[in-house]
Amino acid sequence: MVSAPWSLPRVVVAAPASGHGKTTIATGLLAALRRQGHLVSPHKVGPDYIDPGYHALAAGRPGRNLDPWLVGEERIAGLLRHGAAVPRPADIAVIEGVMGLHDGAVGHRGYASTAHVARLVAAPVLLVLDTTAQGRSAAALALGMGAFDPAVRIGGVVLNRVGSPRHESLLREALAEVGVPVLGAVTRAAEVAAPARHLGLVPVAERAAESTAVVDALADLVAATVDLDAVLELARSAPPLTAPPWDPVAAVGAPAGTDRPVVAVAGGPAFTFGYAETTELLTAAGATVVPFDPLRDEALPAGTRAVVLGGGFPEVYVEALAANTGLRADLAAFDGPVMAECAGLLYLGRELDGVPMCGRLDLTARMTGRLTLGYRAAVAAVDSVPHAAGELVRGHEFHRTGTDPGHGERAAWCWDGAAHGFVTGRIHASYLHTHWAGQPRAAQRLVTAASR
């Protein structure tokens, strides 16, 4: 069935570099527009899990990622359309960029950059400029950001960290000279900060009340400093989306069976990293998805036939995870399929920072002083529950821990000429984060294995 084009208003919030205030403005926009009665759909360029949590709190619906590296550029417009339609069609989509506007996968000429995604979804860009120690040069910067890729339309800027009324006047005059509209100006004194630690902002699930207060403050800030009507007008200038919406049912094909096996998916403060499409794909493949919290639930959900342990911050909650001996014993005895990424890998090991974990994998893990971060083009090293040997999967790493050993006798992946991860029985565990919209067969294979 051919889908009719959808005139979805949309705007990409970008910046020349990290640290200019994209998350502040994007989250504040989502919350401020929602206050006005708009149904807003939140999206994030790149693999990041943390910003979408703040977006979801601001918008009242799941924050979703748009990452060409992880899912393929051909799916980006369809995923945007799907996310903006679920659970109800949105009035506007706000897409927060990643890093600088033109920064993408290293060595791939801007692939997976914010500019790349803006082109794929034909959305105008609202550029956030940190104007600290800048005057007229801010106009040159805005002009260059657009001229570098003429296919990207800079529809306006928000001036951030403005020093004084005179400074704002100077900036507005310079930007008017080059024909770039100023849609807002935020002073340094008005900044609102969310707490951060070793991997970025503290996730919403770890501090719900404080996060709500931060989002409320951001809504106040943006409502007072940004011309929301002008932002809406800019978003409405985007052409209709012609790509059909992404469909999880079509992505996985026929369900694995009729018994709808229970797939338990870890959540809670220690396991906050996950994509909304994972649950949708598992459900479409025939599973009954049941969340559980390894910090609080003393056993796996009743009838569990497979387990998904995503990413998060087990190192922050290591003592509490260890204290939940009932669930650790349950996982140690569970013989069904287990898919574990990053935090899940650490949780399945013998120890994390000297504290006992589940003991399903013969490894120890420790915090290190080194950040491992980047996209990976991985090849499945062996046949496993979610992947066939030789399958090419694009993922990313994001951690400050290390394991001893670094991989098992049967490694999960190979990339850059080295082995990574562990395949033991029906367990697949590694540091690699993946987005199953890019490889929906993983969900189908997991549910099929659970049905046996």
Residues with active-site annotation = 342
Spell 342-380 as b/e; 16+ CB within 10 A means b.
bbbbbbbbebbeeeebbebbebbbeeeeeeeeebbebeb
| Distance, C-alpha 334 to centroid of its chain | 29
Give the separation between CA 75 and CA 246, rounded to whole angstroms.
7
Give the separation between CA 346 and CA 358, rounded to whole angstroms.
9
Give the separation between CA 348 and CA 359, rounded to whole angstroms.
6
**Cβ atoms within 10 Å, residue 315:** 21
Q: Are strands 304-309 and 262-266 parallel, antiparallel or unpaired?
A: parallel
One-letter amino acid at 288 equals T
Contact between 360 and 427 under an 8 Å Cβ cutoff? The reply is yes
Q: What SS3 state is found at 159?
A: strand
* Paired tokens of 298: 């003393």
Q: Which helix (H) or strand (E) holds 348?
A: helix 343-348
Give the separation between CA 41 and CA 60, rounded to whole angstroms.
9
Contact between 246 and 252 under an 8 Å Cβ cutoff? The reply is no
Contact between 346 and 314 under an 8 Å Cβ cutoff? The reply is yes
Q: What is the DSSP string of 165-228?
A: HHHHHHHHHHHHHTT--EEEEEEGGG-----EETTEEPPGGG-HHHHHHHHHHHHHHHHHHB-H
Give the separation between CA 420 and CA 423, rounded to whole angstroms.
10
Question: 410: buried, middle or exposed (CB in 10 Å: 19+, 13-18, 0-12)?
Answer: middle
